[in-house]
Chains A and B, each alone.
Chain A
Amino acid sequence: MSQPELQLEDSIPATTDLPMEHYKTLASYIGGLEDKKGSLINVLHKAQELFGYLPKEVQLFIARKLDMPAAKVFGVVSFYSYFTTEPVGKYTISICMGTACFVRGAEKVLEEFKKELDIENGETTKDGLFTMKDVRCIGACGLAPVVFLDDQVFGHVTVDGVREILKKYRKEHEHAD
């Protein structure tokens, strides 16, 4: 309450590789909040939207700005699977491992993605293009096995289909550049 008002610089680590303008945007977003302490989750959403993920220094920045223990911020970040403390790729591949998808070969699909991308489940490719993770049933059992790529649904995915999907998105990425 009577904590002296922190300057922007006070809360940013002395050396940071993260873009300063994101810190500024986040600080002004927090500055505009009426109930700072009650807005932790909104602030975390905003921060993840800006930085793409929530590394330790961003969590500390938020803790200081909201005058809240860092442990509490970390507790909330770790509780919700939506928040990530690691950078994620441009595209997130979610492979459904629910019962229906599993019996229809989801594991083979997952293995194929791992092989093609040369990463483990939950990791991001070196070029920063793809993050891969398994998810529980997403309720599209009729299309099993199902893979999500961001909000695009792919049904009846086969091992051969994996390469097709990746090709499509690599192409899209090249065109975007």
Chain B
Amino acid sequence: MEMINVKINESYTQVPEGTTILQAASKCGVHLPTLCHMDLKEFGITNNASSCRVCMVEVKGRPSLVASCSELVKDGMVVTTDSLRAIKARRMSVELLLSNHPKDCLICPKNLECDLQSLAQELGIREIKWEGAQMNHEKDQSSYSLVKDLNKCIMCRRCETMCNEVQTCGILSGVNRGFDAYVGPAFNLPMADTSCTFCGQCVAVCPTGALTEVNNTNLVWRALSNKKKHVIVQVAPAIRVAIGELFGMEPGEISTGKIASALRRMGFDAVFDTDFAADLTILEEASELVHRITHQGKLPILTSCCPAWVKFFEHQFPDMLDIPSTCKSPQIMFGAIAKSYYAEKNNLDPQDITVVSIMPCLAKKAEAKRQELTKDENSNVDIVITTRGFAEMMKEAGIDFANLEDQPFDSLMGESTGASVIFGTTGGVIEAAVRTAYEWITGETLEDVEFKNLRGLEGIREATVTIGDMDLKIGIAHELGNARKMLEDIRDGKSHYHAIEIMACPGGCIGGGGQPYHHGDMNIIKKRQAALYLEDQGKKKRKSHENQEVNRLYQEFLGKPYGEKAHDLLHTHYVPRERI
């Protein structure tokens, strides 16, 4: 690759052709502020809108300033980033953004997590010189997952990049022009009426409070203080390797035991693990896979744990609803068992039980409200909060999370195996299924449970696993754009897989829309993934069918995996939906 010379302030450096001024400056140790720019390198996701103008620099010989995030370095270029003119221009860009921004930072859901707020601090802005017209959009609170407050939108277009290019959902687009321009769905429909999957990746990258989540933490406090309610809680696997970040712990520090302690302190009547339901899911899903293989059923089978993915195929591939597994997701299976088996065991009226879920996900909030997943007007899962919401509640309650002692989950629905822990990462669900399917099909003990060829962070991966005399061909995709490619291959008859795992978010649930904000640092996602595999490694039991509490559930209540009662409680169906 051709190297070119550039001078940034007082430093001379050589960079490969195609390097932006921003990258070259970073190489010289010069930090430039950015806002709309987003480069999630490891995932190949970039947003190059160049719309915010907060990274402007001077280039010798050019009459006007240039946006360093998108301007490529040319040979012999002389760049000045610290002249008064450049500094003033960058500051003015932020002042202009702030001039029609609601300045309610103290009570904004993004307070202290907002990139615009940090930038105003970084650039030392202490007054807004311009007072102009204010935007006056109505807040969209139509869905169970997202809140869209366009008055806080700075038109960085990051959400559009995630929605259109990465997830290929195409819900969000720039609408109108000039001051009236905004980002929104077709015909300015409420988000609930679009084919939005509620994956929440727009929320994960929004630099301001324009896109946030529906916050249900108050409902949890209210349930906990209601003496008539028996309130139980489940925690998804991806939480335990991420929540520490919000309490000053290192990304990827495992805090499973601290989570159990904290929930008990908050007053939940029973503290359970979604991992238990993940093991249960594997028993059902592996049974379904074996059933489809031995009965010449439809292949490939697609996982159905991810509610954003489920909604995606209902809207985008309504002609292919017979391929995904009929298994409910672990969150919903947990709710169904809590309101039946758990209620029976504890002599409780299901109506008096409130099931709270802590999920790394915004789509889980909408999933819990799906009509076919609720029974007798009682949702199987009543309230869903995110990793962020859980941290908020602990802070309100004055819980010093980082220094909590480790405690176990309660028994009956609290046991988990290593297989269920890795549900939180791309590749994990299918690896867990393979561990069980292997032993069921061959009747032999699987000695080495780690299927390294199923792991990684590439968007689309494939591997062949030999089980007895059968070569099981497996496909894995995360991010919905990659899922789309897999689905199109199936539709075109080009797919040769037996089983495919799909997760909507980058990296799987570890990169979910409800997780602590990564602020563009994808190393955090890698560390969360490594931590899940580490937790799996430390488990004595690493195969779902070794989970004693799950086995007891079948013996005492459900009967056989994939049997009649299991079908009634743990399986679901899908509905074709319009694409808009």
A binding-site residues for B, Cβ under 8 Å? 1-2, 4, 56, 59-60, 63-64, 68-75, 78-79
Contacts and interface: CB of A to CB of B under 8 A. Distances in A.
B265 to A, nearest CB: 45
B174 interface: yes
Ranked 9 nearest A-B pairs via Cβ: A69-B170, A75-B173, A70-B186, A71-B173, A71-B186, A74-B186, A2-B488, A78-B175, A2-B492
A73 B186 contact: yes
A77 to B, nearest CB: 9
Interface residues of B, number: 21
B5 interface: no
Contact of B175 (A60, A63, A64, A75): A75
Given A75-B173, A75-B174, A79-B174, A70 B488 contact: no
A74 B181 CA distance: 12
Nearest to A79: B177
B179 interface: no
Interface string B386-427: 000000000000000000000000000000000000000000
Contacts of A70: 170, 186-187, 579-580
Q: For chain A, what secondary structure do more than half of its interface residues adopt (helix, strand, loop), or is it mixed? A: helix
Contacts of A64: 579
Given A2-B488, A60-B580, A69-B186, A74 B175 contact: yes
A56 B580 CA distance: 11
A92 to B, nearest CB: 20
A56 B187 contact: yes
A71 B172 CA distance: 6
Nearest to A80: B177
Contact of A74 (B177, B187, B488, B491): B187
A4 B319 contact: yes
A75 B157 CA distance: 13
Contact of B176 (A2, A4, A78): A78
12 contacts: A2-B488, A2-B491, A60-B580, A69-B164, A70-B187, A71-B170, A72-B164, A72-B170, A73-B186, A74-B186, A75-B173, A79-B175
Interface string B167-210: 00111111111000000111100000010000000000000000
A85 to B, nearest CB: 9
Contacts of B194: 71
Contacts of B172: 71
Contacts of B175: 71, 74-75, 78-79
Contacts of A60: 186, 580
A79 B184 CA distance: 13
The residue among A4, A56, A78 with the most chain B CB atoms within 10 A of its own CB is: A78
A69 B173 contact: yes
A69 B171 contact: yes
A1 B319 CA distance: 15
The residue among A2, A60, A71, A72 with the most chain B CB atoms within 10 A of its own CB is: A71
B137 to A, nearest CB: 14
Nearest to A75: B173
Nearest to B578: A60
B173 to A, nearest CB: 4
A131 B511 CA distance: 52
A159 B176 CA distance: 34
A71 B184 CA distance: 8
A64 B173 CA distance: 16
Nearest to B317: A3
A59 B176 contact: no
B180 to A, nearest CB: 9
B185 A71 contact: yes
Given A2-B488, A2-B491, A56-B187, A72 B173 contact: yes
A13 to B, nearest CB: 11
A136 to B, nearest CB: 12
Contacts of B176: 78-79
B198 to A, nearest CB: 16
Nearest to B487: A2
A59 B186 contact: yes
Nearest to B169: A69
Interface string B544-572: 00000000000000000000000000000
Contacts of B170: 68-72
Nearest to B181: A79
A3 to B, nearest CB: 8
A1 B187 CA distance: 25
Nearest to B194: A71
Contacts of B164: 69, 72
Contacts of B488: 1-2
Contacts of B171: 69, 71
Contacts of A71: 170-173, 175, 184-186, 194
Nearest to B177: A79
Given A64-B579, A71-B173, 11 more contacts: A2-B492, A60-B580, A69-B173, A70-B186, A71-B185, A71-B194, A72-B164, A73-B186, A75-B174, A78-B175, A79-B174
Contacts of B492: 2
Nearest to A74: B186
A56 B193 CA distance: 14
A59 B194 CA distance: 15
Contacts of A56: 187
A10 B87 CA distance: 56
A66 to B, nearest CB: 12
B167 to A, nearest CB: 11
Interface in B470-509: 488, 491-492
Interface string B134-172: 000000000000000000000000000000100001111
